[in-house]
Amino acid sequence: MRIGEIYRPGEFGLSFEIFPPKTSDGDAALWDNVERLALLRPAFISCTYGAGGSTRTRTVELCQEIQKRFSLPATAHFTCLGGTRAELREWLALARDRGIANIMALRGDPPAGQSEFRQVVGGLKNANELVTLIKAEFPEFGIGVAGYPEKHPEAADLEVDLVNLKRKVSAGGDAVYTQLFFDNASFLRFRDRCDKIGIKVPIIPGIMPILNFAQIKRITSMCGAALPPGLANRLEAAQEDKDAQFKIGVDFAIGQCQDLLERGIPGIHFYVLNRSQACETILTTLGHR
């Protein structure tokens, strides 16, 4: 199913995001986990595109495998760092020919060791340009774009960032998937402001169930999401106990999702970190069938 067809009135769009594993053990574990995630009947499973374009064909291959093994639509993430315009077209044609349903169209983060985004010579500078290219030349894809309730780290302020988000939506983005966040108030403010400036596509909260403290500290320091002090303190106090950290993370996500559901969100995009267990517990507790 294309992204534009998922969030109909009365429908709830669940999606899961995975990343290409770096080892064969990671690969084997991934398929066990994806099999369990598939049982939760997501609208799609998405697969990230490695920072700096490091997973060029792997993302498409994993998406194709998800579609084949589980008869589920897949969403391939793709970034402006995928190459020159000609190389971006080549990759999009490959994804189209392999039957991938949707593209998450992104600018991309710089590769490890590089602090700033550098546009590929002959390539694209911002995600809105990638959306424009896809819409004009590959209209068969559904298109997701990224939004930042706590603003993108490079943006001067949320106002400017929202104007840029609107460019992506006006160019053809079918839904906005947010960066992970832990403070629902920031998401609700963001959603209201999107509405006020005329962003009318579904805004899907991105939820990352915390699996352990060290990992979430690393992730939030990279993406700029704020970890509420109370939650950080509880995780820190449980530093020696992995199970306790997992339970704190799952309980927090249950409360967060419950509150968002009461506020009428059209779907949830879970950053699952290639593990199904937290989402299985969260969704079962929430009564998802």
Contacts of ligand FAD in 47-86 (CB under 6 A):
48-49, 51, 77, 79
State the Cα–Cα distance between residues 202 and 213, nearest whole angstrom: 31
Residue of 5, 17, 35, 280 marked catalytic: 17
Closest separation in Å from C-beta 264 to ligand FAD: 20
Beta bridge pairs of residue 268:
14
Window 130-149: residues binding ligand FAD (CB under 6 A): 146
Regarding 161 and contact with ligand FAD (CB under 6 A), the answer is yes
First to last CA, the chain: 19
Select the residue interacting with ligand FAD from 74, 82, 150, 152 (CB under 6 A): 152
Which listed residue (33, 75, 102, 128) binds ligand FAD by CB under 6 A? 128
Is there a contact between 61 and 32 (Cβ–Cβ < 8 Å)? no
| 129 in active site | no
Which window, 31-39, 60-68, 86-94, 157-165, contacts ligand FAD (CB under 6 A)? 157-165
x-or-dash pattern for ligand FAD, window 89-108, by CB under 6 A?
Answer: ---------------x-xxx
Q: Residues interacting with ligand FAD, by CB under 6 A?
A: 48-49, 51, 77, 79, 104, 106-109, 126-128, 146, 152, 154-155, 160-161, 164, 167-168, 177, 179, 206
Please give the positions annotated as active site.
17
